[in-house]
Amino acid sequence: MQYPIGKFQLPTLEVAAANRLGYVRQIGDLPQQFAEAARNLKARKLLDTTYRPGGWTARQVIHHVCDSHVNAYVRHKRILTEDHPTLTGYDEKRWAELADVTAVPIEVSLRALEALHLRWSVLLATCSPAQWDRTAFHGGAGVDYRLDQLAAQYAWHGRHHLGHLGVVGSLGS
């Protein structure tokens, strides 16, 4: 249940390059898929249900994806505008416990995801081969990423959490 689609595997440079448009498509498609899953869970009153013992509630997952993908978008823009930047992490667990997660309706994060993913997918879809080859160092992970590898990670990240919402939905059956 923790990894409903499996753990992320950093693609090789060749695999990442061959799948760039797929990552763009997955990033662009996520908001609609996420909104549909969230509406279903809300209608079934499952937003405060966890996907596994000790895991986040569906509400926390929805707000987390918004928080995470805002950070991802900024990371992608930094890679495109800075020479090999160092990307910083954040404490996602503590962010998921902040008051805005319980006080703000999920629709706010769903609307933010829709707007953010439109800009993000257009940004990536218009990258030149040289831009896709730009790199960054992720200090928290201790890994050098190429832009397409980072896009692969976030395409996976969206599907990963969509899987969590699916698990919550199956628990309410």
- Tell me: pLDDT of 163 over 90: yes
Q: Is the model's pTM score more than 0.75?
A: yes
Q: Which residue has the higher pLDDT, 173 or 68?
A: 68
**What average pLDDT score do residues 145-168 get?**
97
Domain ranges in the chain are 13-166
- What distance in Å separates the CA atoms of residue 65 and residue 121, rounded to the nearest whole number? 16
Tokens representing 123? 């940004």
Indicate the residue type of 47. L
- Tell me: pLDDT of 173 over 90: no
13-166: which CATH number, 1.20.120.450, 3.90.550.10, 1.10.3720.10, 2.160.10.10? 1.20.120.450
- Tell me: pLDDT of 1 over 90: no
Residue partners of 167: CB distance under 8 A and separation at least 6: 1, 4, 51, 52
Beta-ladder partners of 135: 146
How far is CA 35 from each of CA 15, 77, 85, 172, rounded to the nearest angstrom?
Answer: 30, 25, 33, 18
Q: For residues 132 and 20, is the Cβ–Cβ distance under 8 A?
A: yes
DSSP strand E in the chain: where?
86-87, 135-138, 143-146
Average pLDDT of the chain is 96
- What distance in Å separates the CA atoms of residue 162 and residue 167, rounded to the nearest whole number? 9
Q: What's the confidence (pLDDT) of residue 172? A: 74
Indicate the residue type of 149. Q
- Tell me: pLDDT of 91 over 80: yes
- What distance in Å separates the CA atoms of residue 56 and residue 86, rounded to the nearest whole number? 29
88: buried, middle or exposed (CB in 10 Å: 19+, 13-18, 0-12)? Answer: exposed
- What distance in Å separates the CA atoms of residue 115 and residue 92, rounded to the nearest whole number? 21
pLDDT digits 0-9 by tens, 12-69? 999 999 999 999 999 999 999 999 999 999 999 999 999 999 999 999 999 999 999 9
Q: Which sign, positive or negative, has the C-alpha torsion 61, 67, 70, 75?
A: negative
**What average pLDDT score do residues 149-159 get?**
98
